[in-house]
Chains A and B, each alone.
Chain A
Amino acid sequence: MSMLKVEDLCIKVHDKKTTDTLVYDVDLEMEKGDILGIVGESGSGKTMTALAIAGLLSRHDMEKSGHITFEGINLLEVERKVLRKIQGNEISMVFQEPLNSLNPLKKVGWQVEESLRVHTVMDKAEMKERAIQALRDVELDNPEAVYNSYPHELSGGMRQRAMIAAAMIIQPRLLIADEPTTALDVTIQAEIVELLKRINKERGTAILFISHDLSLVNSLCERVLVMQNGLVVESGNCEEIFRNPRQEYTKKLINAIPKNPFFKEA
């Protein structure tokens, strides 16, 4: 049985009178240690899919159908108590804007520890040790200093690393990265991608990598899903799709890549 299986996922929004379907019949499957990429332009439903998998879509005016099975549990139907145990313990997420994803009032270390505080009983010293270890694992130069600093004192790249540390501290089995590199400059992007690769290799964490940048996806992922207007238009091996895209849309996406160091000539 696969670790994560999404079948016929549909997300509809009832806004006033009309019903908008944001995601149509998405299917995807991930094994332990997989890296799956989802690409598509803005509004193609890739973030919605990710949020649904993370269990973060609980708005009243939203209708979800289909199945999201994680280790045999249907995340769409399970009660919140169980979902809370899975969230943070098994599934973590890194968001797009490192600026908004840290609370400006709390020290970074405190926030990295938060999921430990929620899920485990641990004394302060031990928690601090784990947090500093997590910060060291994401290759931050001075983890002690970062632990004691506030978000505004860190650069964008450092903040994103701290976020990854916070997401990884509980050692989840699935890490969802929702455009984690969009707000960063090119060199930092490459470093973050390398970091994600290393995490995947060393810990066997599966990564669901969402991006609109095909070249990044190509340098990180084995398999890729191309989405357009809420539909999966193409999916399969990353190299293969790059070499001969079947859909016009995918071709356009590939052509839109500027020449940059990550681009592997097909």
Chain B
Amino acid sequence: MDKSKNQKVKFIIGLTLVGIIFLMMIAGIFCTPYDPLAMDMSAKFAGVSFKHIMGCDNFGRDIFSRVLVGVRETMFVSATVVFIGTFVGIIIGTVTGYFGGWVDEILMRINDAVLAFPSVLLALLVIGVLGGGTHSLIIALGIAFVPSFARIVRGEVLRIRNLDYIQCVRLYGASHLRIIVVHILPNLRTVLLSSVLIGFNNAVLAEAGMNYLGMGTQPPNPSLGLMLSEAQSVIFTNPWNAIFPGLVIVMMILGFSLLSDAMENKS
């Protein structure tokens, strides 16, 4: 009884936070109170006020507007990264899990090799080859995210393919493609749902981290990680420059974690 109430609270808090983030994203797409790139030297390091509710940075740019656009950017990058990771992961995972043999052996060893690299290092490597910018960031993080999804999918496919109902369908004479697409893939959804949410969280963090290192979005365009790194030199004199972007990242992570937690325990 107590536990289900706990879940409900988690779900409501998570949903509220995610809702706020989505509102910010939509605002970031359509309208921001100020132009996030417009500099106003008279408002340099302006504090929190009704005019600038999150204050201004070292060029007098409105932090609230920049945060809105940054949220949009982060959501876009994370969603694309998770999509790439899941999509490629499903393909690799089903092929290796279903067919086994040397295909499995080769692909999974490559997978292990990729997994053995720290993902930040791997992403740095890819960006080093492709050059900076949002697109290479997406590709880099996408590659770094494939192996974990591939493993999860492979394990689940291995489990499902030995169940009697798959044997039954094989006996009916269905082709491999039909067995995989019609009979196995739909059964992956419960496992995928939670790993996608967790993966999304990791993607948000990775994106912020890469931007903090200056590997993704190029200035003057705003992104949450980049704002943090720009704010670190003035963190003691003008802490709001760092606090607000940081707070938004925390809200994102917390919101999605609580949501995935609540959903996982529900099902």
Find chain A residues with CB under 8 A from B101 CB: 60
Chain A window 36-57, contacts with chain B (Cβ cutoff 8 Å), 1 for yes, 0 for no: 0000000000000000001110
**A65-122: which residues lie under 8 A (CB-CB) from chain B?**
83-89, 91-93, 95-97, 100-105, 111, 114-115, 118-119
Residue pair A105, B164 in contact (C-beta under 8 Å): no
Complex Cα distance A92/B171, Å? 7
Residue pair A87, B172 in contact (C-beta under 8 Å): yes
B38 at the interface (CB under 8 A from A): no
- Contacts A103-B187, A105-B187, A118-B178 hold; do A56 and B171 have CB atoms under 8 A apart? yes
A166 at the interface (CB under 8 A from B): yes
Shortest Cβ distance from B101 into A: residue: A60
Find chain A residues with CB under 8 A from B129 CB: none
Band of interface residues on A = 20 to 34
- Contacts A91-B171, A118-B174, A118-B178 hold; do A103 and B100 have CB atoms under 8 A apart? no
Find chain A residues with CB under 8 A from B164 CB: 95-97, 100-101
Residue pair B168, A119 in contact (C-beta under 8 Å): no
Find chain B residues with CB under 8 A from A83 CB: 173
Residue pair A93, B168 in contact (C-beta under 8 Å): yes
- Contacts A60-B101, A103-B183, A105-B186 hold; do A89 and B165 have CB atoms under 8 A apart? no
Complex Cα distance A87/B179, Å? 15
Chain A window 1-15, contacts with chain B (Cβ cutoff 8 Å), 1 for yes, 0 for no: 000000000000000
What is the minimal beta-carbon distance from A162 to any residue of chain B, in angstroms?
Answer: 11
Complex Cα distance A84/B169, Å? 11
Find chain A residues with CB under 8 A from B163 CB: 100
Find chain A residues with CB under 8 A from B173 CB: 83-89, 115, 118-119
Chain B window 71-105, contacts with chain A (Cβ cutoff 8 Å), 1 for yes, 0 for no: 00000000000000000000000000000110000
- Contacts A60-B101, A119-B173 hold; do A166 and B187 have CB atoms under 8 A apart? no
Residue pair B165, A56 in contact (C-beta under 8 Å): no
Complex Cα distance A118/B179, Å? 11
Residue pair B186, A95 in contact (C-beta under 8 Å): no
**B166-207: which residues lie under 8 A (CB-CB) from chain A?**
167-175, 178, 183, 186-187
Please indicate which of the listed interface residues A96, A103, A115 has the most CB atoms of chain B within 10 Å of its own CB. A103
Find chain B residues with CB under 8 A from A115 CB: 172-173
Residue pair A56, B167 in contact (C-beta under 8 Å): yes
Find chain A residues with CB under 8 A from B174 CB: 84, 114, 118
**A153-195: which residues lie under 8 A (CB-CB) from chain B?**
163, 166, 170
Q: Identify which of A59, A95, A102, A118 contacts B172 (C-beta below 8 A).
A: A118
Residue pair A56, B170 in contact (C-beta under 8 Å): yes
Complex Cα distance A119/B173, Å? 8
Shortest Cβ distance from A110 into B: residue: B182
Complex Cα distance A59/B104, Å? 13
What is the minimal beta-carbon distance from B149 to any residue of chain A, in angstroms?
Answer: 21
Residue pair A101, B165 in contact (C-beta under 8 Å): yes
Complex Cα distance A118/B171, Å? 11
**B144-170: which residues lie under 8 A (CB-CB) from chain A?**
163-165, 167-170
Complex Cα distance A54/B186, Å? 26
What is the minimal beta-carbon distance from A260 to any residue of chain B, in angstroms?
Answer: 27
Find chain B residues with CB under 8 A from A119 CB: 172-173
Chain A window 109-153, contacts with chain B (Cβ cutoff 8 Å), 1 for yes, 0 for no: 001001100110000000000000000000000000000000000
- Contacts A101-B164, A101-B165, A105-B186 hold; do A54 and B171 have CB atoms under 8 A apart? yes
Complex Cα distance A59/B162, Å? 11
Find chain B residues with CB under 8 A from A163 CB: 168
Complex Cα distance A114/B174, Å? 9
Residue pair A88, B165 in contact (C-beta under 8 Å): no
What is the minimal beta-carbon distance from A36 to any residue of chain B, in angstroms?
Answer: 19
Residue pair B171, A114 in contact (C-beta under 8 Å): no
Shortest Cβ distance from B163 into A: residue: A100
Shortest Cβ distance from B178 into A: residue: A118
Complex Cα distance A193/B172, Å? 23
Residue pair A114, B167 in contact (C-beta under 8 Å): no
Find chain B residues with CB under 8 A from A60 CB: 100-101
Shortest Cβ distance from B170 into A: residue: A56
Q: Show 7 A/B contacts (Cβ-Cβ < 8 Å), sorted by A.
A: A59-B100, A87-B172, A89-B173, A101-B168, A111-B165, A114-B169, A115-B173
Q: Which 8 A-B residue pairings sit nearest by Cβ, starting from the closest?
A: A115-B172, A88-B173, A101-B164, A88-B172, A84-B173, A100-B164, A87-B173, A95-B164
